[in-house]
Amino acid sequence: MAKIVFSWEMGGGYGHVGPFRPVAERLLANGHHLALVVKDLKRTADLFSDLDIDLFQAPIKLGPAIPYNPTPATFSHLLANMGYQEARELRALIGAWRNLFQAIKPNLFLFDHSPTAMLAARGMSGPKLTVGTGFCCPVDEFPLPSMAPWRAMEADQRERDERAMVELINSVLESFQQPQIQRIGQIYAEMDANLLTTFSELDHYPHRVGNSVYLGPWSGSVLKANDADHNLPVDMPEGKKTKIFAYLKPSRAVPELLRWISGQGFSALVVGDGIDKNKLEPILSDNVRIHTSALPIETVRRWCDVAILNASHGTTCDLLMAGKPLLQIPLAFEQEILARRTVDMGAALDASPEQPRQAIQQLSALIGSASHAREAQAFAERHHDFDPINAFEECIRQIQTLI
């Protein structure tokens, strides 16, 4: 059987390794050997400690880039913040990835938001696939398009910047006697397949063409939606008619927003990822309940009327597929783009994590908005026939076909 390497280089949270857990289970059951080279060993170990896999630390840039660009316009500018400013550093990163791949000797490569790993694997034998959201797989256009309209950059400047980036990358590839590139998008276009775990409406590059396959999302929680453990009853808070589910990380907006919800008497279930429950609970009434661990998604998405999120991709999909309108409070650029996609489709409103008053105003507007509820329900109806199990099975089929 095959030896498969899964790499995760950029991004944070469980959104990269979480969806791979059921894939790993199936591949292991089929007799394959798995090596995971990951950015965050702890999060990965939390999810995979019971599986027979080889786990390695991914070679990644430590510390901020100097100079650091806080508002990257294109994927090329994003790379400049991740070790792609100076040839010596990039050569060290690519060389470390190559050392790992040469030691592992994979028969197949799976890349999740891992551009440096993809460059390192150029010229190595074996099928190569990407898997992830649209943000993790830029389109094959030259110059690369601006990732967000509020960070638009003129085409001639984008072209100059990308040519400089390609020249830097090629100087490193040449030192390893690897095939060179003409544009950044070529790195992805030359994959055997790009498996997008999203819907076209939520793609960060909405006009994508090429060798990409929209599988749709599958979180472990949704795949197990019929299991008893994922339909456990939750002790729901009592309150007014509107029921709110929130899945949030700490930000300046969170305490005042929750206090407003409490004062309005709405029922709210809050899952706080890093939120100080002991600090918040004394200022909240019993109608707002804070949990520090995940709740069964099937239970909460049936229960709630609206949801408040940080525009995390998996949870956004889970709630939209249930027809629930969203208040998006994005914390990262990737989340800002996804939040804008949901706002543009009319199923969400957004707010800055640094502006509590804006968040309160937007939530108040969302609760009273029939149009946002209607558009969220329209999304759910468009994808009524979508089955995450089928998406997962197609991912497995695509992998197995190439082994």
For position 246, which CATH number holds?
Answer: 3.40.50.2000
Phi and psi (nearest 5°) for 18? -60, -55
For residues 319 and 180, membership in a common domain is answered with no
Q: What gap in Å lies between CA 306 and CA 290, rounded to an integer?
A: 16
Please give the average per-residue pLDDT across 21-35, as a whole number: 97
Residue 8 lies in a domain: yes
For residues 370 and 258, membership in a common domain is answered with yes
Stretch (H or E) spanning 128: strand 128-132
Q: Is the pLDDT of residue 1 over 90?
A: no
For the entire predicted model, the pTM comes to 0.92
Q: What proportion of the chain, given as a percentage, has pLDDT over 90?
A: 83
Q: Is the pLDDT of residue 228 over 60?
A: no
For residues 63 and 78, membership in a common domain is answered with yes
Give the position of tokens 């090596």: 35
For residues 159 and 56, membership in a common domain is answered with yes
At residue 241, the pLDDT reads: 82
For residues 378 and 394, membership in a common domain is answered with no
Angle at 221 between CA 30 and CA 246, to 5 degrees: 155
For residues 42 and 126, membership in a common domain is answered with yes
Q: Order of strands across the sheet with 348-350?
A: 288-291, 266-272, 240-248, 306-309, 326-328, 348-350
For residues 364 and 311, membership in a common domain is answered with yes
At residue 230, the pLDDT reads: 53
Residue 81 lies in a domain: yes
Please give the average per-residue pLDDT across 373-378, as a whole number: 98
Residue 179 lies in a domain: yes
Residue 244 lies in a domain: yes
361: tokens are 């105003």
Condensed to tens digits (0 to 9), the pLDDT of residues 84-141 reads: 999 999 999 999 999 999 999 999 999 999 999 999 999 999 999 999 999 999 999 9
Nearest residue to 169 (alpha-carbon basis) of 260, 227, 288, 89: 89
For residues 295 and 179, membership in a common domain is answered with no
At residue 227, the pLDDT reads: 54
Number of domains, the chain = 2
For residues 253 and 118, membership in a common domain is answered with no
At residue 73, the pLDDT reads: 94
Q: What gap in Å lies between CA 79 and CA 372, rounded to an integer?
A: 36
pLDDT bracket for residue 232 (50, 70, 90): low
For residues 53 and 126, membership in a common domain is answered with yes
Residue 140 lies in a domain: yes
Condensed to tens digits (0 to 9), the pLDDT of residues 148-201 reads: 888 889 999 999 999 999 999 999 999 999 999 999 999 999 999 999 999 999
Residue 291 lies in a domain: yes
- Cβ neighbours of 164 (radius 10 Å): 12
Residue 210 lies in a domain: yes
For residues 172 and 56, membership in a common domain is answered with yes
Please, what is the angle between helix 20-29 and helix 41-48, to 10°?
Answer: 50
For residues 103 and 182, membership in a common domain is answered with yes
Residue 25 lies in a domain: yes
Q: How do beta strands 193-196 and 266-272 pair? A: unpaired
At residue 342, the pLDDT reads: 98
Nearest residue to 90 (alpha-carbon basis) of 183, 169, 186: 169
At residue 223, the pLDDT reads: 56
pLDDT bracket for residue 294 (50, 70, 90): confident
Q: Provide the residue range defining the domain that includes 377.
A: 228-382
In the 8-state DSSP scheme, what is residue 134? G
**Amino acid letter, residue 387:** D
Q: Which residues are within 8 A (CB) of 10 and not within 5 positions of it... i.e. 6 or more apart?
A: 39, 60, 82, 113, 114, 115, 136
